[in-house]
Amino acid sequence: MKIRNVAFVAAFVGLMAFSQAALASGFFIQEFSAAGLGQGMALVASGSRPASQYQNVANLSFMEGLWLEATATTYFFDGGFENTSGDFTSITNAPQVVPTFFASYRINDWLAVGFAEFTAFGLSMSWPKDWEGRHLSYSSGLQTFTLNPNISFGPFKGFAVGVGFNAMYGAIDIKRGLTLGMNPPGDTASNSVHLHASAWGFGANVGVMYQPSEQARIGLAYRSGIKISTKTGKMDYDVNEVFSARFPDQTFEADINLPHIIMAGMRYWPIKDLSLELDLQWVQWSSYDELNFKMSKGLGLGPDARQMTLTERKDYHDSIQLRFGIEYKFLRDIMALRLGFVWDQNPVPDKSVDPMLPDSDRLMGAIGLGAIYKGFVIDIGYMPVFGLKRKVTLESGAPMAGTYSLMAHDLSVTLGYHWGGPKKKVQDSEAMPE
């Protein structure tokens, strides 16, 4: 391989690692509570539990008293890659646990506040270190957490409106192999790059709710995009001595625009103890069209030339998600059975699919069971995530031809406490009494 081509490969290693690890529905987390997961996250108009303030901050106005809930969601992964010769490589992901915390308090008949701590973008993808795609990825991970205080006003004649502020912290840790040929005798370099960076970003969320009757609610919510900028990212190379001068350890600058999200939903109670909800979510992934990547030292193209800046086109497209949820309460409202279904559209074009994020359309079913007794809450929810097989070709621009498959099992457990507090004037069919 020519030195110029090697440099471009190494530069794009860092660029693609930073961009792919952070985005697309594969790393977009929405399972913030066991009660919500059991209903397929169809919560825009639920007005029932504190975690629903993520889907719509105006939900706070339809809850009573004080709610405190902590959730742990564990993700179990299965899948892999089949090349054009029929050889299959399995992913090596260990189970991953993501915690969340939500609280809400209804101060009086027209004012409610809430607080959320959650991970909206996260998880990791791991492959064998010596597999055929190690030059694209063998380890990639993203960790974020968001602090989200909220306030909601109403309901006034059935209407409520809420607003919130989001402070998101994100950190990435990516490792990729480099195709630099055979090492000289005695050189033990791994010929790899380690990329790590962290940064803060800020945004807002708003929501409205309308309850036209005791049997129905309609909700609409918006979560702004968040720009994550880093000026102190680090790119550490471990390469053989022949290439060490051309691939120096260095810092980098890059920006990522996380997408705007719009959610709409309607919840209906055909009978007092049974509620149904249908939600539509639109995610503006098209805001992620390209990434500009600036390096402090650059990468060697030849004796007297260095590449300092790169731009990569991603061309993601907007996507939608349909969610349907059911909740049925029984045993004098102490117990609740929940069911859900989700269809999630893939936003990643073939040219941007690689082992770091083998994204595809996804189908999800869900089931959950919960109880509240003397203020103490326990919920459990399970959702299998079926990623449809994704076949890509070199002709489409994909870096590796073959078929990706991925399945996940999401298991959530929520523990919490509810203090009843003052009664509100608008009927709340969702709140389970003590």
Please say if the pLDDT value at position 28 is more than 60.
yes
Domain assignment present for 425 = no
Quick one: the chain helix, strand, coil %, rounded to 5?
10, 55, 35
Instruction: Determine which of 55-64, 240-249, 257-266 has the lowest per-residue pLDDT on average.
Output: 240-249
Q: Measuring CA to CA, which residue among 217, 286, 291 is closest to residue 256?
A: 291
Domain assignment present for 431 = no
Confidence of residue 19 (pLDDT cuts 50, 70, 90): very low
| The total number of structural domains that make up the chain | 1
Domain assignment present for 163 = yes
Scanning 142-260, the segments in alpha helix (DSSP H) are none
Q: What is the pLDDT of residues 71-126, one digit of tens each?
A: 999 999 898 989 999 999 988 888 888 999 999 999 999 999 999 999 888 777 78
Q: What is the pLDDT of residues 173-227, one digit of tens each?
A: 777 777 777 778 777 778 888 878 888 999 999 999 999 999 999 999 999 998 8
Q: What is the pLDDT of residues 391-423, one digit of tens each?
A: 888 888 888 888 998 889 999 999 999 998 554
Domain assignment present for 184 = no
Determine the Cα–Cα distance for residues 175 and 138; give it in Å rounded to an integer: 6
DSSP string of 48-70?
-SGGGGTT-GGGGGG--SEEEEE
Please say if the pLDDT value at position 130 is more than 50.
yes
Domain assignment present for 50 = yes
Question: What pLDDT does 100 receive?
Answer: 95
Domain assignment present for 428 = no
Domain residues for 407? 3-178+189-419
Domain assignment present for 434 = no
Question: What pLDDT does 358 receive?
Answer: 72
Token readout for 222 is: 């918006």
Question: What pLDDT does 29 receive?
Answer: 85
Say if residues 337 and 275 touch (Cβ distance below 8 Å). no
Question: What pLDDT does 431 receive?
Answer: 41
Domain assignment present for 430 = no
- Best-predicted range by mean pLDDT among 243-247, 287-291, 364-368, 392-396? 364-368
Q: What is the CATH number of the domain that holds 34?
A: 2.40.160.60
3-state DSSP assignment of residue 350: helix
Determine the Cα–Cα distance for residues 44 and 58; give it in Å rounded to an integer: 9
Please say if the pLDDT value at position 43 is more than 80.
yes
Instruction: Determine which of 8-22, 281-295, 398-412 has the lowest per-residue pLDDT on average.
Output: 8-22
